[in-house]
């Protein structure tokens, strides 16, 4: 990824996580700062329907997201399809996906307004839930799609195919299908490898496999994965840590590379990922931090 100076944005949405008062207050300060610079700026909750419609319709050329990594995931779901770049400002915990701390926002935003930034593309996945031939739901995924058990602590059978060919039947709590971005999230906690974020690979990581393949598998971007559930009790599919969707016995989930990508605004040099990795790995997220 080469660093390229880009045109400065002029139409900016400032979106805050509604559950954090400090994020809302900071968003108001940033919006006022942008208006003082003669720019078009709008501040709303990330879940405001009017703001979301405007982003989807291309009304903005930058979205500033205030919160934690969960906020960045939600912003990615919104901004990926219309290709609106995202600048993250951390008012959460770990901040693996976030570029700017809350104490340095003014100088960093000024750099973006001068065009001194570059864009990093992050791969997304497309996950689809089927019951027989009927598709019941579909989602764009930035971190991971997790297929597995529900509240009952019993493993499920996960009949897994790659490119239409049978791979194995995992007997496990779940199977994580992740992007390189997601390799530092749940997949990392389950023992998976860390992939550089600019890669375009699909990562399979089983969680608590019993007498099953217990190694992660890295697939090519062009591969597709089918996971069918065999269970007599509750099973679920979960997208990027959102509320789980119930699965019935013989339901299946298909996952492949999405046509969409998420663009993160970057101000550090392109080798930032490795320089930041050690410091991130030595920190624990704040207990109770969700967004």
pLDDT in tens, 234-287: 999 999 999 999 999 999 999 999 999 999 999 987 777 766 666 666 655 544
Question: Which token pair is 186?
Answer: 């749940």
Please list, residue by residue across 23-36, b when 16 or more beta carbons sit within 10 angstroms of its beta carbon and e when fewer do: bbebbeebbebbee
pLDDT > 50? residue 1: no
Task: Give the E-state strand segments of 32-191 in sequence order.
Answer: 40-45, 62-67, 86-90, 100-101, 118-131, 134-141, 144-149, 156-162, 165-172, 174-178
Question: Is the Cβ–Cβ distance between 19 and 47 less than 8 Å?
Answer: no
Please, which pLDDT band fits residue 20 given cuts at 50, 70 and 90?
A: confident
Of residues 208 and 288, which shows the higher confidence score? 208
Query: Which pTM value belongs to this model?
Result: 0.91
pLDDT > 90? residue 56: yes
CATH numbers and ranges of domains, the chain: 11-117+267-281 (3.40.50.10330), 124-259 (2.60.200.30)
Question: Is the Cβ–Cβ distance between 80 and 52 less than 8 Å?
Answer: no
- C-alpha to C-alpha distances, 214 to 172, 177, 228, nearest whole angstrom: 10, 14, 18
* Cα angle: 75, vertex 55, 3; to 5 degrees: 65
Stretch 16-41: mean pLDDT, rounded? 89
**Cα(120)–Cα(130) distance, integer angstroms:** 32
Stretch 11-17: mean pLDDT, rounded? 93
Please list, residue by residue across 191-230, b when 16 or more beta carbons sit within 10 angstroms of its beta carbon and e when fewer do: ebeebebeeebbbbbbbbbeebeeebbbbeeebbbbbbbe
Lowest mean pLDDT among 25-39, 156-170, 272-286: 272-286
Over the stretch 62-116, which tens digit does the pLDDT of each residue have? 999 999 899 999 999 999 999 999 999 998 776 778 889 889 999 999 999 999 9
Instruction: Tell me which residue of 180, 185, 194 sits closest to 240, measured CA to CA.
Output: 185
Catalytic option among 29, 69, 240, 289: 69
**Cα(283)–Cα(94) distance, integer angstroms:** 7
Catalytic (active site) residue 69:
yes
Please, which pLDDT band fits residue 173 given cuts at 50, 70 and 90?
A: very high
pLDDT above 70 coverage of the chain, percent: 91
Of residues 93 and 174, which shows the higher confidence score? 174
């Amino acid at each position: 990824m080469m660093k390229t100076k880009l045109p400065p944005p002029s139409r900016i949405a400032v979106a805050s996580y509604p559950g954090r008062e400090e994020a809302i207050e900071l968003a108001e300060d940033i919006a006022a700062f942008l208006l003082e610079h003669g720019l078009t700026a709008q501040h709303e909750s990330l879940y405001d329907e009017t703001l979301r419609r405007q982003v989807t319709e291309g009304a903005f050329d930058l979205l500033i997201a205030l919160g934690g990594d969960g906020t960045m995931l939600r912003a990615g779901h919104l901004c990926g399809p219309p290709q609106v770049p995202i600048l993250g400002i951390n008012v959460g915990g770990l901040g693996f996906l976030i570029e700017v701390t809350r104490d340095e926002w003014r100088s960093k935003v000024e750099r973006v307004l001068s065009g001194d930034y570059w864009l990093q593309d992050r791969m997304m996945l497309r996950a689809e839930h089927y019951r027989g031939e009927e598709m019941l739901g579909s989602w764009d995924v930035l971190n991971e799609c997790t297929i597995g058990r529900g509240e009952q602590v019993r493993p499920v059978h996960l009949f897994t195919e790659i490119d239409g060919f049978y791979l194995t039947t995992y007997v496990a709590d779940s199977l994580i299908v992740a992007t390189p971005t997601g390799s530092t999230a749940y997949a990392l906690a389950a023992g998976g490898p860390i992939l550089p974020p600019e890669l375009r690979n699909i990562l399979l990581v089983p969680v608590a496999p019993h007498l099953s393949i217990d190694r992660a598998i890295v697939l090519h971007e062009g591969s597709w994965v089918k996971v069918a559930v065999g269970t007599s009790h509750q099973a679920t599919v979960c997208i990027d840590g959102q509320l789980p969707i119930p699965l019935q016995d013989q339901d299946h989930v298909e996952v492949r590379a999405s046509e969409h990508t998420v663009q993160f605004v970057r101000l550090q040099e392109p080798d930032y990922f490795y320089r930041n990795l050690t410091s991130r790995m030595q920190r624990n997220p704040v207990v109770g931090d969700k967004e």
